[in-house]
Amino acid sequence: MNIDIQIKEELKQTLVILEGEIDAYTAPKVKERVAPLLEGFTGEVIFDLTNVNYMDSTGLGMFVGFFKTVKANNGDFRLMGLSDRLKRLFDITGLAGIMEIK
């Protein structure tokens, strides 16, 4: 169970590229890298999940936390590259209705 995290920052946009599995073991690693970037961030954050092949409820909870932090600062939050399986996870939980997914 591994996760690769790449972060590309520009002036008003941060792209977080995740690759691997997001679960109870890897989510804390993602939080450790990403959460400090989002504190007070007012731009757009995009999470590219194209190469995420598995995510459990821990991952969903992590994204809810990121979403709340970004929205509290009036920033923009977007998920992209979701597989059909991941998209279904967000649909079933109702998160697809509140988060922007491309």
The class (CATH top level) of 3-101 is alpha beta
- pLDDT for res 40: 86
Residue type, 22: I
Q: What is the pLDDT of residues 3-15, one digit of tens each?
A: 999 999 998 899 9
- pLDDT for res 1: 66
Q: What is the pLDDT of residues 49-78, one digit of tens each?
A: 999 999 999 999 999 999 999 999 999 999
What's this model's pTM, rounded to 2 decimal places? Answer: 0.95
Rounded-to-integer distance, Cα 74 and Cα 12, Å: 12
- pLDDT for res 98: 95
Name the strands in the sheet holding 100-101, side by side, starting at the edge strand that comes first in the sequence: 3-9, 13-22, 44-55, 76-80, 100-101
- pLDDT band of residue 85 (cuts 50, 70, 90) is very high
Residue type, 84: D
Q: What is the DSSP letter of 50?
A: E
Q: What is the pLDDT of residues 17-57, one digit of tens each?
A: 999 999 999 999 999 999 999 988 899 999 999 999 999 99
**Domain segments of the chain: what residues?**
3-101
